[in-house]
Chain A
Amino acid sequence: MAPTRAMIRMAWTFSARDVRLHKFRSALTVLAISVGVASFVSLRLVSVGVHAKVREEVEQLISADLIVYGEGACDVPEFVCEFVKSMPYVEDVASVVIVQGWVESGWRKYMANIIGCDARSLRNFFNLSVTEGRAFSDEERGVALINEDVARSLGVGVGKSVVIKPQVVTGGQGSYVARVVGVVRATAKVGGLSIFNCCIVPLRDAQELVGAKGYVTYVLVKLSDRSCAKLVRREIRRVFPGALVTEQKEILMVIGRVVKTVTGMIVATTLIGVVVAFFAVANTVMMNVREHIRDIGILKALGATSRYVMALFVLEALLMSTVGGLAGLALGVVGSHALRRLLPRLGVSFAVPIVVDSGTLTVGFLLAVGVGALASLYPSWRASKISPVEALRHE
C-alpha cells in the first residue's frame, strides 16, 4: 500500500517531536553532520579557488614561449642567455633569479617571491603597473619594488627600508637591506608568468643574495614565430645538453595536473569528517530505536507495516541531516573565507579567490542527506524486524 498524505504527516509529527524531545542528542548529531559538511565545503571552495586562480594565471603565459632552467635552484649560466638571444626566431630573452624568501620590516615579516632582473627585462618582460614611486635602473643597487599586499602587510611605502632574506640560505650574504623605490599592483607578470606577493630587486643583488654570481634561475624566451618552439628547444638542448627547456603548453598541463592532485587530496581528507558524521547518525538512530522498542510494538499492533516503522527512523535521521547539511553549508562558506585569510600566514603567497559555486553546495548538501539516509538504514531496518510481541514485552 502506498503511503497516504495522512501517514506521511503522522510520521513527520512523530519524528519531529522525537528530535525536539531529545534536544541535546539531536543537536550533537546535527553538529557532527554540519562540521563534516562544513569542512568539505570550505576546503572544496578554497581548492576550487586555488585551481581557478592558478589556471587563470597560467593561461596568461603568453610572452614566454620557452623557459630554460637547470636542475638546481639557480644554476643556469648567464652566457646561455646571450647564446639564446642570438638564435634564429628568438625575439627577446630575459635572465631572472626567482627564490622564495622573507621581506621584513621591524618585527613584521611576509613571505614573498624575491625576483632579480635587470632594468631592460623589467620593462620588456614585467607587466608591471607601478602605483607608487618608480621602477629601478641598471645602475641602482640596494633598491626594491614591492607589491601592494607586501607593502600593506608590512606597513611600508616608498623610501622605507626592508630586509630581504631567502627562505633557504645556500650561500651568499644571506640577507641585505634594500630601499623601497616603488609599489606595484598585486600581481606582477614576469615574462607572462604571474608572480604573487613579490619583491623585485636588481639582478646582481639577487645573485649576491643567493651566492650565485653569474647564474640565474630561468632564461625566459619570447619567439618571433611560436610554431618554431620545438625547433628552438631542440637547438638549445643540442648546445646545452644539461639544460631543461619547457614549452608553455607543457607547463599548463603539469601545473593543472599537480593542482588537481593536491586539491583532490585535500578534499579527500575532509571525508574523515563525513565518516565521523555517519557514525554519529547511526549511533543516534540506534539509541532512538532502543528507546522506542515498545512504541514499535504498539505501532505494529495497530497495523503499521515494517516499511512504515523503518520510515519513521529514517525520516528522523533525514530531518537531522537536512538541518546539519544546511548549517554545514553556511559554516563552510564562512570557513572558506576564514581559511583564505589564514593561508598567507601558512606560506601561500597569493590571495585565493572564493567563488561560492552551486556545484559544491549541492554536493555538500547531498553528502549530508546521503550520510543521514545511509547511516540510518541498518538500525531502522533492525527496528522494522522486531517482533510485535517481544517489543510489547520490552520495559
Chain B
Amino acid sequence: MTNVSKVYGANGHAVYALRHVSLEIKRGELLVVMGPSGSGKSTLLNIVGTLDRPTEGEVVVAGVRVSELNEDALSRVRCRTVGFVFQFFNLINNLTALENVMLPMVLSGDYTTSEAREKARELLRLVGLEGLEERRPTQLSGGQQQRVAIARALANDPAIVLMDEPTGSVDAEAASKILSLVRWLNRVRGHTFMIVTHNPDVAAIATRVVYIRDGVLYERPPESAMERVKALRDLPGARLAYLRMLLVELRSLLRRLESGAIGPQDGARELERLRRVARELGVRV
C-alpha cells in the first residue's frame, strides 16, 4: 500500500485513522503490526484485506490494484487472495466446523462439495482438530474455534492471511498453541501473515515488526519517554510529579555541565530533550 490515508467524518470533524501509510508485505513474511487500542491497526488490516476502502492512496493485493474495483470484484479478490482470522473467531453458528472451513472454497466456485469437504478435513487435521469436524462453533472452546478460523483462512491458499488480535479472546495455553501453529505455518509452509496486535508475545514470532500510533506507521518503536509523558499527562498528579522530576534532571544537567562531567555539545542535546518534554507537559519554554 502506498500513501494510504483513512479519514472518518467530515467538515471540521475529520478523524484520521491512518495518515499517509506506505507498507509493503513480502511473500513469506510474518509481519506483526503493534499498536494500542485506537491506533488504527484494525483499519489498516481492513484496508489491506479490502474490507474497507482508503480515503486516499493506493492498495495492491497480490498484484491486483484493488482501489478501483467494485464490491463484487473485491469479494472475488478477497475470496482467493486473502484469509481472515478475527479476534472473536467469527465462525458461522449455523454451520459445523467442517462446513465453516468449506465455506471459502465453496464461495470461490473452484471446488465441488466433496472436494471442499475433503480439503476441509485435511485443514482441520492440520490445525489439530481431527474428530471435531461435525461440532458447531458453540460446542468448541475459544482456542478450538480460533483454530477452525485459521483452517478456514487457509482454505483457498491465500496470498496473505490477516489476523486481528488472534490471541485476544483465548487463554494463555490456547494462545501459545495458536502462535506455535502460526509460526509453523509461516516457517514450514511459507504462508504470509500480517497480524495486528498489542500483545508483545505475538511480536516474538514475527519476521518483521512495525508499529502504529495515531494512524502513523513506524519501522521502530516510537520514543518511549514521549509515550510515558503523554500517558502521564492524563493522570491526575502525574504531571506535577513529572515536572518536579524534570527540574531535578535540569539541576543535575547544570551541575554536570559546571563540573565538566559532560561537554557543551552533549549538554545542549540533553537540554533540548528536556525542553521537548517540558513542551509535551504543557510548559512554555
A residues sitting closer than 8 Å to B (CB atoms) are 1, 3-7, 9-10, 13-14, 17-18, 21, 294-295, 297-308, 388-389, 392
CB of A294 within 8 A of CB of B107, answer no
Check: B108 CB closer than 8 A to any chain A CB: yes
**Given A17-B94, A18-B94; A5-B51 close (CB under 8 Å):** no
Residues of B within 8 A of A306 (CB): 71-72, 75
Docked pose: A226 CA to B142 CA in angstroms: 93
Residues of A within 8 A of B156 (CB): 303
CB of B76 within 8 A of CB of A303, answer yes
Check: B249 CB closer than 8 A to any chain A CB: no
CB of B104 within 8 A of CB of A295, answer no
Docked pose: A13 CA to B106 CA in angstroms: 13
CB of A13 within 8 A of CB of B95, answer yes
In angstroms, how far is the closest chain A Cβ from the Cβ of B124? 16
Check: B116 CB closer than 8 A to any chain A CB: yes
Closest residue of A by beta carbon distance from B105: A6
Check: B16 CB closer than 8 A to any chain A CB: no
Residues of A within 8 A of B79 (CB): 302-303
A-contact bits for B46-60, CB 8 A (1 contact / 0 none): 100101100000000
CB of B99 within 8 A of CB of A7, answer no
Using A4-B106, A10-B99, A302-B107 as known contacts, list a sample of 17 further A-B pairs with CB atoms less than 8 Å apart, ordered by residue number in A.
A4-B109, A5-B113, A6-B111, A7-B109, A9-B113, A10-B113, A13-B99, A295-B93, A299-B92, A299-B103, A301-B49, A302-B103, A303-B104, A305-B72, A305-B76, A392-B51, A392-B90
**Given A14-B92, A14-B95; A300-B106 close (CB under 8 Å):** no
Of the listed residues A5, A307, A389, the one surrounded by the most CB atoms of chain B closer than 10 A to its CB is A389
Check: B112 CB closer than 8 A to any chain A CB: yes
CB of B51 within 8 A of CB of A298, answer no
Residues of A within 8 A of B107 (CB): 7, 10, 299, 302-304, 308
Check: B152 CB closer than 8 A to any chain A CB: yes
Check: B183 CB closer than 8 A to any chain A CB: no
Residues of A within 8 A of B104 (CB): 302-303
Residues of A within 8 A of B86 (CB): 392
Interface residues of B toward A: which range? 20 to 34
Docked pose: A3 CA to B95 CA in angstroms: 19
B interface, over-half SS: helix
Residues of B within 8 A of A5 (CB): 112-113
Instruction: For A302, give its contact among B93, B111, B116, B152 (CB under 8 Å).
Output: B152
CB of B108 within 8 A of CB of A303, answer yes
Docked pose: A301 CA to B78 CA in angstroms: 7
Instruction: For B103, give its contact among A3, A10, A297, A388 (CB under 8 Å).
Output: A10
CB of A1 within 8 A of CB of B106, answer no
Docked pose: A13 CA to B79 CA in angstroms: 20
Docked pose: A10 CA to B156 CA in angstroms: 17
Docked pose: A308 CA to B104 CA in angstroms: 13
Closest residue of B by beta carbon distance from A303: B79
CB of A6 within 8 A of CB of B76, answer no
CB of A389 within 8 A of CB of B75, answer no
Docked pose: A140 CA to B272 CA in angstroms: 136
Q: Which 10 A-B pairs rank lowest in CB-CB distance, beginning with the nearest?
A: A303-B79, A6-B113, A17-B94, A303-B107, A6-B106, A10-B106, A305-B72, A302-B104, A388-B51, A298-B90
Residues of A within 8 A of B75 (CB): 300, 303-306
Check: B102 CB closer than 8 A to any chain A CB: yes
In angstroms, how far is the closest chain A Cβ from the Cβ of B9? 15
Residues of A within 8 A of B106 (CB): 4, 6-7, 9-10
Closest residue of B by beta carbon distance from A294: B90
Residues of A within 8 A of B76 (CB): 1, 303, 305
Check: B84 CB closer than 8 A to any chain A CB: yes
Closest residue of A by beta carbon distance from B77: A303
Residues of A within 8 A of B41 (CB): none
Instruction: For A295, give its contact among B72, B94, B116 (CB under 8 Å).
Output: B94
In angstroms, how far is the closest chain A Cβ from the Cβ of B86? 7
Check: B80 CB closer than 8 A to any chain A CB: yes
Docked pose: A301 CA to B51 CA in angstroms: 7
Residues of B within 8 A of A297 (CB): 90
Docked pose: A6 CA to B108 CA in angstroms: 10
CB of A302 within 8 A of CB of B84, answer yes
Residues of A within 8 A of B112 (CB): 4-6
Residues of B within 8 A of A308 (CB): 107
In angstroms, how far is the closest chain B Cβ from the Cβ of A348? 51
In angstroms, how far is the closest chain B Cβ from the Cβ of A148? 61
CB of B49 within 8 A of CB of A10, answer no
Closest residue of B by beta carbon distance from A17: B94
CB of B109 within 8 A of CB of A389, answer no
**Can you report 11 residue pairs joining A to B where beta carbons are below 8 Å apart?**
A1-B76, A3-B109, A4-B106, A5-B112, A9-B113, A10-B102, A298-B90, A302-B104, A306-B72, A307-B72, A389-B46
